[in-house]
Amino acid sequence: METNSNTKSTFSGHETFACKSLWLKKGYDFVKEGHSFNDEDAVVVLGVGKNMVSSIRYWLRAFGLINPENKTTLLADFIFDIEKGCDPFVEDVQTLWLLHWNLIYTNYATIYRQIFLNFHKERKEFSKANIFAFLKRKNLDKAFSGMVWNDNTINKDISMLVRMYVSPNTDVYEDYSAILLDLNLIKRISKDLYEFNYVTKAKINPLIFFYAVHIISGGAQVVEFDKMLELSLAFCLTQSELYDLFDQLTTTNSNITFDNSAGEQLFAVKQDFDGFEILKMYYKSEER
């Protein structure tokens, strides 16, 4: 499975614009038509301002939909191809789960992986100041490579993460345009206090979860339970929800087993799966 993982830590690049619902499709079509984000007429073709052109390119990279050479990835084609794409206009909440996972896994936008997988282990409730302190500490521990720390840049990334996931408490329509809001993964408790939302988040389909298992394990036949716990952080799953997903997967496919006996927790897959075949199982199912 192709990804855009990179070793260099990246903060900023979004030009303070949250990714809007139709930007990924717009950017995908732009690239497929042979355009370059550096073209003088990019603002005209995309119908947005210059800074938004840069932002669209950034989000395509962050979601793992284009590679460093600005070519579309296989996942981008799977979702957005106008003829064969499974959900070109991102109308299915499961596609949002898929994009959320890829945003974390691709790790182009460093803050999302850090907050959902690492910071999340330490706190369920938090403020922006808590996130800043965590990232500052990670930076002092040299967790970030190839970057120069800048307080202003980091604070902008923190504000962007909040805008991408937290439903605003305003009546301004534009504030509700961020693509991942419907997942309801982070909710506001008070003016500047938030929490990872385990209770009223959107429900993830077992096959989308299984796709993430397949990717994070490299298609291994036996998956370490620690990997599952990492996914539970990424998707804000309780242990009960995690076991329920296992039950649904093992019930629907005899080649998938989960052993929770004798002190061992082993998730095993007895056949070779292709990541896209797993996704097709969902997008062709009657559950949509």
- For the chain, the three-class secondary structure string (H helix, E strand, C coil) is CCCCCCCCCCCCCCCCCCCECCHHHHHHHHHHCCCCCCCCCHHHHHCCCHHHHHHHHHHHHHCCCECCCCCECHHHHHHHCCCCCCCCCCCCHHHHHHHHHHHHHHCCCHHHHHHHHHHHHHCCEECHHHHHHHHHHHHHCCCCCCCCCCHHHHHHHHHHHHHHHCCCCCCCHHHHCECCHHHCCEEEEECCEEEECCCCCCCCCHHHHHHHHHHHCCCCCEECHHHHHHHHHHCCCCHHHHHHHHHHHHHHCCCEEEECCCCCCEEEECCCCCHHHHHHHHHCCCCC
d(CA 279, CA 17): 30
Q: What is the pLDDT of residue 5?
A: 45
- Please work out, in degrees rounded to the nearest 5, the angle formed at the alpha carbon of residue 271 by the alpha carbons of 268 and 276: 100
Is the CB of residue 104 less than 8 Å from the CB of residue 69?
Answer: no
- Domain 206-283: CATH class, spelled out: mainly alpha
d(CA 135, CA 119): 9
Question: pTM above the 0.75 mark?
Answer: yes
- Rounded to 5 degrees, what are φ and ψ at 181? -60, -35
Residue 285 has pLDDT above 90, yes or no: no
The angle, 0 to 180 degrees and rounded to 10, between the axes of the packed helices 50-62 and 93-106 is 90
250-276: per-residue pLDDT in tens?
A: 998 888 988 877 667 888 898 888 999
Q: What is the pLDDT of residue 196?
A: 98
Residue 2 has pLDDT above 50, yes or no: no
Q: So where are the chain's domains?
A: 110-196, 206-283
Question: In the predicted model, what is the mean pLDDT of residues 63-68?
Answer: 96
68-91: per-residue pLDDT in tens?
A: 999 999 999 999 999 999 999 999
